[in-house]
Chain A
Amino acid sequence: MSSETTHVSYLEYQGRYKGLRGWIFSTDHKRIGIMYLIAATVFFAAGVVFGFLMRLELLYPGKTIVSAQTYNTFFTLHGVIMIFLFVIPGLPAIFGNFFLPILIGAKDVAFPRLNLLSWWLYVIGGALVLLSILLPGGPADTGWTFYIPYSVRTGTNVIFTVFAAFILGFSSILTGINFVTTIHRLRAPGMGWFKMPLFTWSLYATAWIQVLATPIIGITLLLIVVERVFGVGLFDPALGGDPVLFQHLFWIYSHPAVYIMILPAMGVVSEIIPVFAHRTIFGYKFIAFSSLAIAVFGSLVWAHHMFAAGMSDFGQFVFSLLTFLVAIPSAIKVFNWTATLYKGSISLEPPMAFALAFIFLFSIGGLTGVMQGALSVDIHITDTSFIVAHFHYVMFGGTGFGVFAALHYWLPKMFGRMYNKKAAYSAFWFLFIGFNVLYFPMFIMGWLGMPRRYYDYLPEYTIYHQISTVGSWILITGLIIMFTNLYLSLKRGKKVTARNIWGGETLEWQIETPPTYENFEEIPLITEGPYEYKDNDQDILEEKEVV
């Protein structure tokens, strides 16, 4: 390869195909990352629209804009799209694909063609979900949990949606396989496990969950299809089946899945905080291992979603206890991030603002999660809007803000253009305030007894619903500002050619902006940890000083 091609950015690089085909058939991890970004944004926009419409419907009791059936399909589509098409693939597939190989000093992932296949599966799965809306029968109206027996009885296109989720599962598995192998096999010389950036650690833990847990939901969803098409009684109570067993199988995957969502976001935050505090991360090993601990413990707590379903007392006891233990590694992370700010030199650039908001919102989400882990309390609040608030705080306040942080942190690197920082800040405040106005009232409502998945509600909850709906408008304003700002920056933002925009010490800041096709001219030799900040005057080593 001539030295000329090595200096061409991956955006301009010409492979065998040109134009659009040069993208959709490209096996370059960076292009695949961008394609994921585009596809995910499209699906995400669909999900947001459903969320927005739901809030409109709930503005007044009774019918406001749509019928009950339509509302039921709204929250199902909203849930399915957000979970399977946005938060699960979001960070690993977009930023993981783009930056994982760079962060460990590799030229690509271990199986580039598998990577492309995984993108195609993702798009096909997403298209199936959207297709189910148009086909006769209408989109599924089961909720994203597809609980049997309702999912077998309803006349809507459940098969489509379920099959789409099955395909999306395989897309996710392929990403997982790719990442585990990449991290094991392709680290640059000298990059020991404890010299890896923390984002890599979190992707590694995530990848294992993807590989091990996803097949279980694959088969479970397939059984819904089998049950509907062939009438095989596996869960149908009329034929001796046990609907609660379905719930077990569903959550064996879907609980670990929530850690697929949050771990990469935690990784992003662990990258951003030391960079903008301009100092080394506090407790590297604790953060790294807590990712693994979350992955392990996270696989053991699934039945906390079923505390009201009638499990045996012993089951309740065990799952509640384990649920509390899974909170500990998250707590460790939060404390270490906070400690990283201590004696730093903090510049509050937009990515940092989002990362700090992440800590705050995720803490609220996590702490309310802990409340739900307490048996007697959960009996009261399960299946109420308290839960809805909890998971929006963790998924959207957590992962969503993690994605925002990542966008503001890495987009200039990916495209060589800088966004308008003022606009970024104003988007941030709209998002942050709107978010809390939208979801906080749901905690109160939920505690007062407002069940979830309710098309209509009793008049005493009206005020909370209305505050919440107003919140959604503020939030969406912020969203529009943010995406417009980022989009415009790609068109006519200030050009960035400096390698290291933020003063980071990980490898992506040592290569060209935007990265060249091959990432590295020469595979680097790694000699020190990822967050050394050698330039700082005093270098206090481990265990010397108590904070």
Chain B
Amino acid sequence: MSNQEHAMAHRDDVGSRMGMWLFLFTELLLFGGLFFLYSVYRFVNQEEFHIAAKELDTIIGTFNTAILLTSSLTMAMSISAIQKNNKRLSIFFQLITILLGFGFMVNKYFEWTAKINHGIFPGSEELLNRGSGEILFFGLYYVMTGLHGLHVLIGIFIIGTMTWFTSRDIITKESYVKLEAAGLYWHLVDIIWIFLFPLFYLIT
């Protein structure tokens, strides 16, 4: 498109990253709204939040934290690799990142189904019989981890696209700002998990 000419006439990597950071803020505040909800409800229903949190599996949570942290590492390394012009290694790291992302989701899947099999899901009879604090806790649990899971899936998709770009030499040593942006996104998803984890699994 000739329109692109004047946009592409000069490339501005700093500008691209700046745009990405601004977008990350909107993601952060999207979750921010949920964190506001969480903190108010927790403040009002401290006891019941404690009781409810006991039912979440700390081991799965910890395991998933480790997975995401590791995936952040491989993501960062894939950028280093492309900077060193090591295309193969970069793709390798990206694939590992994707794999870890899927691992995270598989864990999530088992965690959620276990809860649902215990009859704990929004609107379930089991849950409605409990105190309102517990209803809120699990409501928030599903919404927040659900939204986070959705972001992991989106992240996987984006990184997948980047892998494809890398293999097609669209992302190269000279021009890798797209990969950086994908990385920023992935790290943000990680940061959100860093907060979700203690707030849901560790407050027993």
Binding site for B on A (CB under 8 A): 1, 15-16, 26-28, 107-108, 110-114, 173, 176-178, 180-181, 184-186, 211-216, 218-220, 223, 226, 230-234, 239-242, 245, 248-249, 252, 518
Q: Contacting B25 at CB < 8 Å: which of A28, A212, A231?
A: A212
Complex interface: chain A residues within 8 A of B15 (CB): 110, 181, 184-186
Using CB atoms, name the residue of chain A closest to B34: A219
Counting CB contacts under 8 A, is B59 at the interface?
no
User: A16 to B2, Cβ gap below 8 A?
Assistant: yes
User: A1 to B5, Cβ gap below 8 A?
Assistant: yes
Not counting A186-B15, A239-B128, a sample of 10 additional A-B residue pairs whose C-beta atoms are within 8 angstroms of each other reads: A27-B4, A177-B19, A185-B18, A211-B26, A215-B27, A215-B33, A232-B139, A233-B135, A234-B139, A240-B131
Using CB atoms, name the residue of chain B closest to A184: B18
User: A185 to B1, Cβ gap below 8 A?
Assistant: no
User: A249 to B23, Cβ gap below 8 A?
Assistant: no
Q: Contacting B136 at CB < 8 Å: which of A181, A185, A240, A248?
A: A240
Complex interface: chain B residues within 8 A of A16 (CB): 1-3
**Smallest beta-carbon distance B30→chain A, Å:** 4
**Chain-A contact segment, one of B6-14, B66-74, B89-97, B187-195:** B6-14
Complex interface: chain A residues within 8 A of B36 (CB): 248-249, 252
How long is the Cα–Cα vector from A221 to B41 in the complex, in angstroms?
A: 18
User: A211 to B22, Cβ gap below 8 A?
Assistant: yes
Complex interface: chain A residues within 8 A of B45 (CB): 240
How long is the Cα–Cα vector from A252 to B14 in the complex, in angstroms?
A: 31
User: A110 to B12, Cβ gap below 8 A?
Assistant: yes
Interface of B is mostly: helix
Counting CB contacts under 8 A, is B32 at the interface?
yes
A28-B3 in contact given A185-B15, A233-B139 (Cβ < 8 Å): yes
A226-B143 in contact given A27-B4, A234-B136 (Cβ < 8 Å): yes
How long is the Cα–Cα vector from A345 to B152 in the complex, in angstroms?
A: 61
Counting CB contacts under 8 A, is B142 at the interface?
yes
Using CB atoms, name the residue of chain B closest to A26: B3
User: B136 to A239, Cβ gap below 8 A?
Assistant: yes
Complex interface: chain A residues within 8 A of B2 (CB): 15-16
How long is the Cα–Cα vector from A108 to B12 in the complex, in angstroms?
A: 13
User: B143 to A215, Cβ gap below 8 A?
Assistant: no
How long is the Cα–Cα vector from A157 to B5 in the complex, in angstroms?
A: 44
User: A245 to B135, Cβ gap below 8 A?
Assistant: no
How long is the Cα–Cα vector from A241 to B45 in the complex, in angstroms?
A: 11
User: A249 to B122, Cβ gap below 8 A?
Assistant: no
Q: Can you report 26 A-B residue pairs in the complex whose CB atoms are below 8 A from each other? A: A1-B5, A16-B2, A27-B1, A27-B7, A108-B6, A111-B7, A112-B7, A177-B22, A177-B26, A180-B18, A211-B22, A211-B25, A212-B26, A212-B29, A214-B26, A230-B122, A231-B123, A232-B139, A234-B136, A239-B135, A239-B139, A240-B45, A240-B133, A240-B136, A249-B37, A252-B36
How long is the Cα–Cα vector from A34 to B174 in the complex, in angstroms?
A: 37
- Sorted nearest first, the 8 A-B pairs with minimum C-beta distance are A240-B132, A219-B33, A215-B29, A231-B123, A232-B122, A185-B15, A215-B30, A232-B139
How long is the Cα–Cα vector from A113 to B6 in the complex, in angstroms?
A: 12
Q: Contacting B142 at CB < 8 Å: which of A113, A212, A232, A249?
A: A232
**Smallest beta-carbon distance A149→chain B, Å:** 15
A232-B123 in contact given A226-B143, A249-B37 (Cβ < 8 Å): yes
Using CB atoms, name the residue of chain A closest to B29: A215
User: A233 to B136, Cβ gap below 8 A?
Assistant: yes
